[in-house]
Amino acid sequence: MAADIAHFVRDETGLSVYTGSTNTRVSNSARVLCAAALQYLSTTIDLVTGFSIALNTSTLHGKSYLDVRVRFSLKGALYNFHMMAIPLYQEHIGENTFASLSSFLDALAPEWRQLLVGVSTDGDSSMTGRIRGVATRLEASVPTTKLVRVWCALHQLDLVMQRVHKSSLDEEFLSTVASMTGHLRRQSILVMKIGSTCPLCIPSMRWWGFVSAVHVLATEANIVFVKLQRKLTLISQQQGPLANLVATHARLTGMEGPVSSNDLKKIDNSRSEVCSAYALSHACARKFMFETDSWVKDMLACATEEDEAQLPYAEVGKMFVQAADRVSGIVAGLGLSDVEVHVIVQQLSLLRRAYAYDNILRLALDTLDDETTTFDERWGTVGEGYDLVKQFCGDLASTFPNTATVESDFLVLGWEKDEYRRSITDFSLEDVMHYKQFKAFRELVERLIA
């Protein structure tokens, strides 16, 4: 990393003296690069009319950090940058975290209270607490505007999956997984001779049948996790994948829903599992389990009448309707002058007229995929002439839909500050983070100057 920084500074300055630099010179150069990156960031924020932040806290080898990322729109493009991994020297309570965050924002962007559009956090109580949470304190700090608060949809989906798995098979599923995993880890020889020795904790046919259903549930959920972690995902693009997850589970299992209250009364609860507006019959659950995999079909085909009575058709139905109900429940004002508001309304009216009468523009916009098209691509299709309405929409779109990018920062921090380099300083860590995005900063500045 030190050599990379030295070569980068050499290329930037044109001074060959950086080749073969000492560690001291490299560290000083890295600090200059970090300072330049923060100055670029501060200058850029002065040019925007709104920005959003994403927050997450974590501990690396006994040292706590609050990672902050910023997202904003400039000239019709969305940008997502790491701001700072702020060291936390006190408890992770809302008051301490907010004090550290506000001090940093005061130094980097003194007008942040007038510019902050949204804040995204995970579901930790210190972040989302109704009275003392960081998001609540931020909202109280911007009384003249309406702050968009986002509880990370990925975190909500993760909690849904955890609760569903924990309650599965009357809490037997996870305990059996833990027993099996521990048994195999303790007896490495058994892994090679699994056919000759039978562990005492071997699961029943009922459990194995349930595993096949869990695999389908988790596989489809993982697809949504991956899709929502894209760096430029918008809040408006979250609801589609979540709704598709419920629809996919319904299509695979034969689950019905949302079902009206009148129709729910007609369902036989002794032969179906019901949760709020979703229902799945035991017969459909049985058919679904037979279709999950060939080994499941063979296993169930050999089941005796006694085994058949023990198979988890009801538990499978219960798992899917509970997941559908909880996933469907995931929910994912700007300081403008009167003149700017008037111009935005006019430009929006012109854009709507262009969409109505310009066949080429309408066809180009209609062919774009709402789930995969980025903000930049869509506005690039519109073209020039709508600068203020584009910036207004960009400010709203800057709100982080989740905290995936913040959590990815901690992967980098953990890689740099591993068990062999615990003594690395906080400033050195920040040098590394800003070095990784300095080229993107430079390209942004060049675009603004052009």
Domain residue ranges in the chain: 2-155+335-449, 202-328
pLDDT by residue for the chain (450 residues), tens only, comes to: 555 555 655 665 555 555 556 667 767 777 787 888 888 888 888 888 889 898 888 776 677 888 899 998 887 788 888 888 888 887 767 788 888 899 999 989 888 888 888 888 876 767 766 667 788 888 888 766 667 777 777 778 888 888 888 887 777 777 787 777 777 676 666 556 655 455 555 677 778 888 888 889 999 999 988 888 776 677 667 778 888 999 999 999 999 988 888 888 888 888 999 998 899 999 999 889 888 888 777 877 777 777 777 788 889 999 999 999 988 887 553 445 567 777 877 888 888 888 888 888 888 888 887 777 888 888 888 877 787 788 778 777 777 777 777 677 766 666 666 665 555 666 677 777 777 787 887 778 777 766
Residues 6+ apart with CB under 8 A from 424: 416, 417
Nearest CA-CA partner of 327 in 276, 286, 375, 390: 276
pLDDT number for residue 334: 40
Task: Write the CA distances from 60 to 101, 126, 155, integer angstroms.
Answer: 19, 19, 21
The Cα–Cα gap between 434 and 26 comes to 15
What is the C-alpha separation between 347 and 236, in angstroms, rounded?
22
What is the per-residue pLDDT for 175? 79
- pTM, to two decimals: 0.57
Alpha helices of 88-171 — where are they, by DSSP H?
Answer: 94-108, 112-115, 125-128, 134-141, 153-167
Per-residue pLDDT at 335: 46
Q: What is the pLDDT of residue 146?
A: 67
Identify the pLDDT of residue 142: 78
